[in-house]
Structure 1
Amino acid sequence: MGLLLGTGKFLKNGCKNLYFFNRIDATEQLYKSGKIQYILISGDNSTKNYSEPEDMQAELIKRGIPADKIVLDFAGFRTLDSVVRAKEIFGQNSFIIISQKFHNERAIFLARKYGIEAYGFNAKDVNKYFGFKTKVREYFARAKVFVDFLLGVEPKFGGEKVEIS
């Protein structure tokens, strides 16, 4: 199982989001090499016209990945939600997390804290100037992980279990 962490297809200025396309490239590579058989796409779907999971699914299908090998999690609003829901809702105790290195480091830390055997597959990163804002945001996200543990924060949404055969 590959857990593809969501991000928007486009930036606020309308340009393509290279984080998105690099994660799609990495997922395609893993699937076509036989390293993963299913893809769980977890991301934000908080407004009517914005769905990270559906945008990523559409892009993967365009690249030849069968729709029946893709499962969508629309409640992956944060990395914590995506990782814990992969275990609690989708029944996965071991998976490969697909994102950029800086994001995978935090996601794997979270997974292991929740008893999940997780590994990261690092998608290509972006130019350091292009990704400056994201890197600054990551420093705060890493600190928030510890605050969340201290406060016992759980995923925002639960839900019925979904079996992935």
Structure 2
Amino acid sequence: MPVKIFICAFLRTIAYLWLFSGVVLASAALFSLPRPADIAIVLGNTVYADGSPSPRLAARLEKAYQCYEQRQCKLVLVSGGIDASGTDEALAMHAYLVRRGIPSDNIVVDRAGNDTWSTARNASAFMRNRGLSSALVVTQYFHIPRAMFALKRFGVREVSGAYPVFWEVRDLYSIVREVPALIWYGIRPL
């Protein structure tokens, strides 16, 4: 019986630490301040079949537009993959920002940004080729620490984050998911 009690206490402690770590990560991002950068990197999300961004993605794009309009960045890199139905996230993001008034020449399209790791790898390669050294990553608040960490792992020295004021119930799951994802990004080979 004492072994069963010990195992339950141990598992409960792990769960509390996991939840606490997720809250700490999300809080760190909430209190981080975006800094002016050479490029803003917008991570993709759901795009509907008609090419319109989901509310979550539209909020990210609006935040990127604000950063560009306020001259916090000179370029905007939109990164996303192509879903099973053939919808291209990055092209839809590009079209959205062009409609908002950002010149097409100031928007870089990464159509191979299927996940945060791929986006960080592709964005850092683009930055190296262009001699850019600072990035402003635009995503949800809970995702900023991992996205920034991934960019730093790929050699981007100066990274800050910006997030839209947007919340959904699924953020609770996402906050918890960020803990093991961040650990994986710390040990994942480049």
Same fold (TM over 0.5): yes
Query: Which residue is 1:93 aligned to?
Result: 133
* Structure number with bigger Rg: 2
Contact 1:3 1:96 in 2 (8 A): yes
Is 1:54 aligned to residue 95 of structure 2? no
Q: Deviation at 1:138?
A: 4.4
Counterpart check, 1:27 vs 2:64: yes
Q: Counterpart of 2:153? A: 113
Q: Aligned partners of 2:146 and 2:181: how far apart in 1?
A: 11
Report the residue type matching 2:176 in the other structure: Y
How big is the alpha-carbon RMSD for the aligned residues of Structure 1 and Structure 2? 2.3
**Cα deviation digits, residues 5-60 of structure 1 (max 9, x gap):** 1112349xxx9622111111111111111111111111112446211101111111
Residue among 156, 163, 168 paired with 1:122: 163
Query: What CA distance in whole angstroms lies between the structure 2 residues aligned with 1:89 and 1:8?
Result: 24
Choose from 43, 48, 54 the match for 1:17.
Answer: 54
Q: Which has the higher helix share?
A: 2
Change (3 A) 1:81 1:142: farther
- Give the alignment partner of residue 82 of structure 2, picking from 35, 39, 45: 45
**Residue aligned with 1:123, SS:** coil
Q: Deviations over 1:89-130 (max 9, x none)?
A: 44243211011211112211222333322110111222xxxx
Q: Which residue of 2 aligns with 1:159?
A: none
**Structure 1 CA distance, aligned partners of 2:188 and 2:65?**
37
1:112 partner letter: K
Distance in 2 of aligned mates of 1:17 and 1:48: 15
Question: How far, CA to CA, are the matches of 1:148 and 1:90 in structure 2?
Answer: 20
TM-score for both structures, normalised by structure 1: 0.77
Identity %: 23
| 2: CA distance, partners of 1:10 / 1:142 | 29
Q: Among 140, 144, 161, which residue is 2:181 paired with?
A: 144
Deviation at 1:147, TM superposition (A): 2.7
Cα distance in 2 for partners of 1:50, 1:33 equals: 30
Kindly provide the amino acid, as one letter, of the partner of residue 42 in structure 1.
Answer: S
Q: Which runs of 5+ in 2 are unaligned?
A: 1-38
The answer for the alignment partner of 1:3 in structure 2 is 41
Q: Secondary structure at the match of 1:50?
A: coil
